[in-house]
């Protein structure tokens, strides 16, 4: 039997994990990325290289878009070499980048005008869960799209939420998730910094808090980066500059105050202004280092 074909546009930390998971689960996975060396490595892992999003769109009935933002989504779908121009009617775009809800709604309408189906499908779980096929998908779109893409969605996620029959609800729920994720990372960095200033061993702080009521998924996941002094980006500071910006812009349009989110956003902006924008988002801790002179653990080796 021939393998089911699916495409992945964007082989970043999440996209590469998704693409490799699909290969491991028996799909024929076409992929494209602006970094040719990443695509070629993926070919060695069993994937198929697509020269452009358009080439990918011509080859597969389902395309997963996992790029950074709305501008990149626009480019890979509707740009000069965009996938939309080559996708057959009835094909599905699984739009998994974090974007403003109003953009997701408009994107769904424009794809429908082209005869294409869209699942507004932001994801959560990080690179590690993407690589294991254990993501959470916050999806919304017409039932036909979910039915056609069921095998793909089930392969990459342990939980697929169907939040509505039109694009938009998925991105709205992802916005709430990012509010919490961004605030939790900022709070974790603040707490760890205070502990270090007070003279407590960071490893002790981590062990105690990870087994206490003050713990959060983000504290438990991100603070080992600080303890190891390793800020290799799995999710970069600039991602939360963008994502919390989306949250604040959307809330402002609803005349809804978000004082805690705004404070967290300022910390990410400060980290980026200090030159840490492309480091792991746990590098927010370096803002407190700059402000207070605390000594952070250094990377060994």
Catalytic amino acids? 174
* CA–CA gap between residue 270 and residue 265 (Å, rounded): 9
Q: Which tokens go with 274?
A: 């200090």
Distance CA 65, CA 26 (A): 20
CA angle, residues 85, 88, 93, in degrees to nearest 5: 75
Cα angle: 185, vertex 187, 193; to 5 degrees: 105
| Cα(80)–Cα(255) distance, integer angstroms | 38
HSE, CB side, 13 Å, CA atoms: give it for residue 92: 24
What are the structure tokens assigned to 55, written together? Answer: 């080439």
Q: Tell me how far apart the alpha carbons of residues 107 and 46 are, in angstroms, rounded to a whole number.
A: 31
Beta strand 62-65 with 48-49 is unpaired
User: If we measure between CA atoms, which residue out of 75, 123, 131, 114 comes closest to residue 95?
Assistant: 123
């Amino acid at each position: 039997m021939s393998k089911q074909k699916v495409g992945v546009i964007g082989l970043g930390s999440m996209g590469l994990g998704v693409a490799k998971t699909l290969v491991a689960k028996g799909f024929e996975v076409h992929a494209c990325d602006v970094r040719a060396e990443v695509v070629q490595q993926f070919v060695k892992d069993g994937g198929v290289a697509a020269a452009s999003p358009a080439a990918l769109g011509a080859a597969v009935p389902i395309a997963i878009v996992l790029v950074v933002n709305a501008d990149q989504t626009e480019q890979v779908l509707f740009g000069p070499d965009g996938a939309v121009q080559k996708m057959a009617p009835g094909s599905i775009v699984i739009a998994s980048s974090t974007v403003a809800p109003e953009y997701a709604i408009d994107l769904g309408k424009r794809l429908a005008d082209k005869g294409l189906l869209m699942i507004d499908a932001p994801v959560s779980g990080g690179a590690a869960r993407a690589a294991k096929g254990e993501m959470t998908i916050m999806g919304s779109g017409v039932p036909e799209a979910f039915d056609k893409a069921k095998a793909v969605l089930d392969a990459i996620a342990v939980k697929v939420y169907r939040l509505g029959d039109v694009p938009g609800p998925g991105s709205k729920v992802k916005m709430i998730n990012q509010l919490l994720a961004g605030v939790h990372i900022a709070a974790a960095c603040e707490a760890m910094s205070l502990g270090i200033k007070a003279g407590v061993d960071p490893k002790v702080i981590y062990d105690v808090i990870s087994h206490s009521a003050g713990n959060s998924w983000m504290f438990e996941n991100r603070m080992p980066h600080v303890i190891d002094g390793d800020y290799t980006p799995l999710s970069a500071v600039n991602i939360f500059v963008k994502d919390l910006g989306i949250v604040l812009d959307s809330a402002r349009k609803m005349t809804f105050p978000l004082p805690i989110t705004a404070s967290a956003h300022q910390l990410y902006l400060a980290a980026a202004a200090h030159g840490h924008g492309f480091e792991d988002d746990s590098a927010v801790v370096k803002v407190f280092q700059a402000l207070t002179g605390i000594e952070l653990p250094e990377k060994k080796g």
